[in-house]
Amino acid sequence: MAHAFRRRPDGSLACRLDGEEKAIITQVAQETADLIRADLGIDADPDVLRHAADSDDPLRRLEAEFAGRDAREPADSAVKRLFPAASDDPNAAAEFRRLGQQDLADGKLADLQRVMKILDAAGAGHSEVVLDDEEALAMLRALNDVRIVLADRLDLQRDGDFDTVRMLQQIGERVEEAGEKEDDQVGSDIVIAVYELLSWLQESLLRALD
């Protein structure tokens, strides 16, 4: 069972998570990173374009330059939330994407990867997860991005919507106590449980930072 983040005497921040909780967070972080890469057409290795841009080969540099200009507009509804249009004007929005979307995506992917490395370093069993302030901010950003994706999958538009979804879930559990749940209901329950875990963890980390 998860224990809240706290500020330790040495200035670091720590919480305790069991193996299943760490595995779940790692999985949804990886799935969010994969979703971003697939939807935006980003190479799995974010350093590929950078290496090409620094190459001595002028053709590779030119290829990297034009690749950086081709910022794909998100198609997945969750990725649209992560990378919203900067303008109502299509041409202006496309220009903003061309100039900044790759850097924004690189930052999000780096945060997600960092969280996965932190959790992996903490070990597979029940153990303490320790962060410095920089790692804590990266985890906050990553948790927020994963929560945005899960909120989209739960069709949550506003913060208050989750209370409604949770209430409907509880009603459904009581109605179906005597029978088996449908597969869709079970899947929804899992997403809700993960969303609750990430929300609690994010709030816990914010409180510890404050």
Q: Domain spans of the chain?
A: 3-209
Q: State the angle between helix axes of 133-153 and 19-40 in degrees (0 to 180), rounded to the nearest 10.
A: 70
pLDDT digits (tens, 9 = 90+) for 129-177: 999 999 999 999 999 999 999 999 988 876 666 666 666 555 555 545 5
Task: Decide if pLDDT at 201 tops 90.
Answer: yes
Angle, CA of 1, 14 and 123, to the nearest 5° = 65
**Which comes out higher in pLDDT, residue 137 or 1?**
137
Question: What's the pLDDT score for residue 124?
Answer: 86
Question: What's the pLDDT score for residue 174?
Answer: 55
Question: What's the pLDDT score for residue 37?
Answer: 95
Greatest mean pLDDT among 64-68, 83-87, 179-183: 83-87
Mean local confidence (pLDDT), 105-126: 95
pLDDT digits (tens, 9 = 90+) for 20-73: 999 999 999 999 999 999 999 987 555 555 666 566 777 666 665 555 446 789
Question: What's the pLDDT score for residue 33?
Answer: 97
Mean local confidence (pLDDT), 102-106: 94
Question: What's the pLDDT score for residue 80?
Answer: 95
The per-residue pLDDT of the chain, averaged, comes to 83
What is the three-state SS of 54-121?
CCCCHHHHHHHHHHHHCCCCCCCHHHHHHCCCCCCCHHHHHHHHHHHHHHHHHHHHHHHHHHHHHHHH
Q: What is the pTM of this model?
A: 0.78
Question: What's the pLDDT score for residue 150?
Answer: 93
Question: What's the pLDDT score for residue 49?
Answer: 55
**Which comes out higher in pLDDT, residue 190 or 118?**
118
